[in-house]
Structure 1
């Protein structure tokens, strides 16, 4: 049984009849635990659609998505929602932190969404934040953090439910070069340490050195570089 994330012959159509357009065209990709893959390509090439399907936010028109050995294409909306919460960690372009929650509570909120927060959960959250250099920022609010600290909080939050898959959408978009390298090297480090299957969509080709493999997306088609 293949662990990690597999997309097999994924096609996504928009529109009907003569107006039908393939945003994704028979995309196949496999990312195993401990692997960090990057997807690059111009705007409008299908990267966002690809990430939405990989993250169980959007259903493919054709093909199969397999997460941790389980096909998810035919799951109900409720099952997909549970899958997103338990199996997938998202890191977005802007850190998407809740303005009125401190750094520790940003992580514990995710735990609350999947049940009650235990002492063990709190301990794991603090350990994650310390590991990512945020041990002195547990009680800080987003407005008190630098861009890099916000993204590190977002990385910790993506790992709090111990998901099998991490998906990062342009995680360096709002960062300067030094912070960008810091954030992507931390993602790479956590992926290896915790054996996650990870995909990063990026425009920033300087970040590709941290990745195990790089795919290019062009007109809805994907190829390994």
Structure 2
């Protein structure tokens, strides 16, 4: 079974009045386990649609998207939801933490969504947070964290289900330069040591040094730089 992420000739149309607008046009990309890829491009170039298809949030109009060997187009809505939970870790622009949950519980709630939380799950969550420098913050709430700590919590949460695919959408948008480097170097480290296929959409050219490949998106088309 092929692992990682494969998009093959993916096109996504949206209806606008009686017209069809192609938000993505014949996009093909393959990201292997342990590979960290960046996608750059102006607003409105199709990056969000691309990430939504890569993360099984949207189905392509044409072409095929495969996540860890699963073909998205053939799945029901429930199967897609299960696939997202098990196979995809999302890291968003703002950390999207739940305000009333502690740092540790931000991770355990993801585990609860897929069943009950075992002792092993809790131990793995603690280990992840310690690895990301949050060992002293397990019982802290989001309002007590810095921007960098919130994003590190979000990275740990993306990894808690041990997904095959990590998708980061502008993960440094709300961070200063030092914190931005810290966060992206951590993502890169986790991707390589844990063998995840990872894509980061970014406007931040300074972060490209951490990536194995850089693609540019323009008018719904993807080009390797």
Structure 1 portions without partners, runs of 5+: none
Matching residue of 1:105: 105
The offset of 1:108, in angstroms, is 0.1
In structure 1, C-alpha distance between the alignment counterparts of 2:8 and 2:78, rounded to whole Å: 23
Instruction: Note the alpha carbon deviations across 1:25-63, whole angstroms, 9 max, x for none.
Output: 000000000000000000000000000000000111001
The offset of 1:69, in angstroms, is 1.7
Instruction: Note the alpha carbon deviations across 1:142-184, whole angstroms, 9 max, x for none.
Output: 0000000000000000000000000000000000000000000
In structure 2, C-alpha distance between the alignment counterparts of 1:78 and 1:162, rounded to whole Å: 20
In structure 2, C-alpha distance between the alignment counterparts of 1:64 and 1:193, rounded to whole Å: 28
Q: What TM-score comes out, normalization by structure 2 length?
A: 0.99
Instruction: Note the alpha carbon deviations across 1:52-86, whole angstroms, 9 max, x for none.
Output: 00000011100101111221211000000000000
The offset of 1:2, in angstroms, is 2.0
Pair 17,98 (structure 1): closer, same or farther in 2 beyond 3 Å: closer
In structure 1, C-alpha distance between the alignment counterparts of 2:16 and 2:219, rounded to whole Å: 19
Write the mapping of 1:213-224 to structure 2, written as runs, cut at 5 A: 213-224=213-224
> How many residues are treated as equivalent by the alignment?
225
User: Over the residues paired in the alignment, what is the CA RMSD in angstroms?
Assistant: 0.9
Matching residue of 1:122: 122
Matching residue of 1:75: 75
Matching residue of 2:48: 48
User: Structure 1 segments of 4 or more deviating over 3 A?
Assistant: none
Pair 142,16 (structure 1): closer, same or farther in 2 beyond 3 Å: closer
The offset of 1:19, in angstroms, is 1.2
Matching residue of 1:147: 147
In structure 2, C-alpha distance between the alignment counterparts of 1:188 and 1:149, rounded to whole Å: 17
Structure 2 portions without partners, runs of 5+: none
The offset of 1:18, in angstroms, is 5.0
Matching residue of 2:136: 136
In structure 1, C-alpha distance between the alignment counterparts of 2:86 and 2:155, rounded to whole Å: 15
In structure 2, C-alpha distance between the alignment counterparts of 1:55 and 1:4, rounded to whole Å: 12
Does 2:177 align with 1:177?
Answer: yes
The offset of 1:204, in angstroms, is 0.2
Matching residue of 2:190: 190
Q: What TM-score comes out, normalization by structure 1 length?
A: 0.99
In structure 2, C-alpha distance between the alignment counterparts of 1:17 and 1:128, rounded to whole Å: 48
In structure 2, C-alpha distance between the alignment counterparts of 1:20 and 1:192, rounded to whole Å: 40
